[in-house]
């Protein structure tokens, strides 16, 4: 299948990044969100990020102008009906995702491929609630989308080879690398990354080290570009907790038990950078550890 038009559900951090790379690669993009303000903010953010790419010589002014012209927005979900490929990038709650696909189904073409950018939810289970489980798969971008080179392609139990090949061709056109993953909780990246972050929170919880010493140790001792607690704040502590719960529930192994301190931060609404407080306080000029 030759994919030309791409519908993206959700104009948040992931959705606007996906719109950015798809438009630059030459695809016509329809971005939808329930909030007109979110759509305006997303387009402004994409434009600003592309302008920085122009400034760094990564793309030309002409590339940026053409790409921005390929992005349309709508608050009406069913306007995505004519899309060849739809990527759902809404909040990481299964009931929300199911409702989106349910609303889309009567309006899309028989050949349309449905995908989810979920970081942990079962693709097989999401697909089973649609009329096309063979044309459904996981299309998981890494954050920030324009920078990160990996895309996880996750097959549900029913996903056919044609669907996988079509999605792989899109990843190739983006100039990114596809990693094929099987449909088990959290797939590859988060299956490995989130337990490391959770263990860092346990290390803090048990008093082995403070925020600064834990992050400095991993940056200088393991050559990580960001410390695990700094990274958790960047991802969002609510997202980290949600993925740990998926791992714990889905694999029934106590090694995936979310740290009580992670739960406490989420209960406090200290979710990281997006709320200005997490393991660091971002309200001043320089982030300050909160423990």
Give which of 150, 128, 153, 125 is closest to 138, Cα–Cα.
Answer: 153
For 102, other C-beta atoms within 10 Å of its C-beta total: 11
Residue 156 marked ligand-binding: no
Residue 122 marked ligand-binding: no
Residue 212 marked ligand-binding: no
Residue 119 marked ligand-binding: yes
Question: Residue for token digits 């895309």?
Answer: 151
Give CA–CA dist 185/191, Å, rounded: 7
Q: Is the C-alpha dihedral spanning 66, 80, 42, 127 positive or negative?
A: negative
* Active-site option among 16, 116, 190, 198: 190
* Active-site option among 120, 140, 198, 230: 140
Residue 213 marked ligand-binding: no
Concerning whether 119 is annotated as a catalytic residue, the answer is yes
Residue 10 marked ligand-binding: yes
* Active-site option among 116, 119, 120, 198: 119
Residue 175 marked ligand-binding: no
Give CA–CA dist 180/144, Å, rounded: 20
Concerning whether 122 is annotated as a catalytic residue, the answer is no
Concerning whether 190 is annotated as a catalytic residue, the answer is yes
Strands 150-155 and 177-182: parallel
Residue 11 marked ligand-binding: yes
Concerning whether 37 is annotated as a catalytic residue, the answer is no
Residue 33 marked ligand-binding: yes
Residue 17 marked ligand-binding: no
* Active-site option among 116, 117, 122, 152: 152
Binding residues for NAD(+), by number, are 10-15, 33, 92, 97, 119, 143, 274
Q: Which residues are catalytic?
A: 119, 140, 152, 190
Binding residues, by number, are 10-15, 33, 92, 97, 119, 143, 274
């Amino acid at each position: 299948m030759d994919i030309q038009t791409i519908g993206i559900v959700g104009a948040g951090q992931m959705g606007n990044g996906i719109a950015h790379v798809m438009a630059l690669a030459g695809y016509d993009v329809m971005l939808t969100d329930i909030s007109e303000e979110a759509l305006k903010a997303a387009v402004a953010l994409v434009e600003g990020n592309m302008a920085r790419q122009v400034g760094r010589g990564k793309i030309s002014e002409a590339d940026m102008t053409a790409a921005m012209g390929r992005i349309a927005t709508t608050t009406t979900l069913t306007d995505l009906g004519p899309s060849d490929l739809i990527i759902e990038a809404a909040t990481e709650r299964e009931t929300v995702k199911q409702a989106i696909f349910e609303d889309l189904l009567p309006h899309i073409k028989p050949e349309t491929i449905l995908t989810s950018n979920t970081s942990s939810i079962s693709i097989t289970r999401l697909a089973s609630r649609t009329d096309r489980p063979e044309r459904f798969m996981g299309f998981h971008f890494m954050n920030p989308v324009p920078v990160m080179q990996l895309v996880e392609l996750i097959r549900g139990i029913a996903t056919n080879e044609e669907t996988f090949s079509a999605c792989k061709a899109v990843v190739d056109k983006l100039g990114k690398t596809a990693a094929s993953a099987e449909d088990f909780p959290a797939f590859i990246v988060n299956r490995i990354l989130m337990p490391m972050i959770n263990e860092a929170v346990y290390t803090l919880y048990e008093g082995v080290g403070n925020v600064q010493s834990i992050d400095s140790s991993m940056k200088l001792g393991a050559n990580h570009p960001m410390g695990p607690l700094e990274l958790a704040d960047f991802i969002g502590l609510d997202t980290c907790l949600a993925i740990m719960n998926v791992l714990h529930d889905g694999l029934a192994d106590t090694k995936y038990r979310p740290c009580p301190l992670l739960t406490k931060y989420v209960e406090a609404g200290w979710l990281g950078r997006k709320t200005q407080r997490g393991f660091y306080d971002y309200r001043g000029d320089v982030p300050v550890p909160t423990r």
